[in-house]
């Protein structure tokens, strides 16, 4: 299949390499320096677009693809507050938009483990929950999109938590989940969820050893998405 890469940074390069090793053709590799080349492409010759750019470019990139009938898979984080706008645009255009904060299969298993543990802890008193995430220093948004997804899974299954906050930016509140965000090279991504009590601690964690797991997941979704329409997620792809 022909894949368009929107955002040719470190992730875009790995995605391109994995796609080509799986027998796919890269229709174009677009970044801020050559975005004008988009107008030279034939949308009908593109089977899917994989968008890993920057928060300030994501909406424009995604709308460009949807408007031209190209299924788009996005992994850019830091713009999620605007996602309802993209969801509406996708449905209006009868397009296909797939978003995940993390495309790693292992991380998506971890999301489910996190929710299951949160359900168990909902019935257990005496524990407070916190989260820590560690990424490389080039990552601009904090907390990470993965950490926010984990936080949403915890809050959804809690009777006391209603939101999350970045540790150090506001005072602790029993109704807000604290997230500590650290930026340390060359860490590609570690997420730790910890329940603490006076008696013991319960901790689950996921550590990525490279970006290849994220990139492979995005390519697998690109192989799956042709013919699909609507607003899609990893739940649709993995069918957990």
Verify whether residue 24 is a known catalytic residue. no
- Side-chain half-sphere of 143: how many Cα atoms within 13 Å? 27
The angle subtended at Cα 229 by Cα 103 and Cα 46, nearest 5°, is 75
CB 187 within 8 Å of CB 133: no
Given the residues 24, 63, 135, 191, the one annotated as active site? 135
Residue whose C-alpha is closest to residue 2's, from 70, 53, 76:
70
Residue whose C-alpha is closest to residue 146's, from 43, 234, 46:
234
Angle between helices 212-224 and 105-122 (to 10 degrees): 100
Verify whether residue 135 is a known catalytic residue. yes
Hey, is 155 helix, strand or coil? helix
**Residue 152 contacts by C-beta under 8 Å, 6 or more apart in sequence?**
none
Given the residues 24, 139, 191, 206, the one annotated as active site? 139
DSSP assignment letter at 15: H
Q: Which two tokens stand for residue 59?
A: 């909406």
Residue/partner pairs of 167-173 with CB below 8 Å, 24 or more apart: 167/130
CB 87 within 8 Å of CB 74: no
What are the residue numbers of the active site?
A: 135, 139
């Amino acid at each position: 299949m022909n894949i368009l890469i929107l955002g040719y940074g470190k992730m875009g390069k790995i995605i391109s390499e994995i796609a080509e090793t799986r027998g796919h053709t890269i229709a174009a590799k677009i970044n801020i320096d050559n975005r004008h080349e988009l107008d030279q492409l034939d949308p009908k010759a593109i089977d899917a677009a994989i968008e890993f750019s920057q928060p300030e470019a994501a909406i424009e990139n995604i709308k460009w693809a949807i408007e031209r009938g190209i299924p788009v898979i996005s992994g850019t984080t830091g713009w999620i507050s605007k996602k309802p706008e993209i969801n509406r645009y996708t449905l209006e255009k009868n397009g296909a938009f797939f978003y995940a904060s993390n495309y790693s299969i292992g991380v998506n298993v971890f999301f489910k483990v996190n929710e299951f543990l949160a359900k168990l802890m909902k019935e257990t008193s005496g524990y407070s929950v916190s989260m820590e995430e560690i990424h490389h220093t080039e990552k601009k948004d904090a907390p990470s999109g993965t950490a926010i997804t984990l936080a949403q899974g915890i809050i959804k299954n809690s009777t006391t938590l209603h939101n999350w906050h970045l540790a150090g930016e506001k005072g602790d509140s029993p109704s807000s989940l604290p997230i500590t965000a650290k930026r340390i090279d060359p860490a590609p991504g570690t997420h730790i969820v910890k329940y603490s009590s006076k008696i013991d601690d319960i901790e689950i964690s996921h550590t990525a050893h490279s970006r290849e797991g994220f990139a492979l997941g995005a390519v697998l979704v690109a192989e799956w998405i042709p013919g699909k329409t609507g607003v899609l997620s990893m739940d649709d792809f993995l069918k957990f």
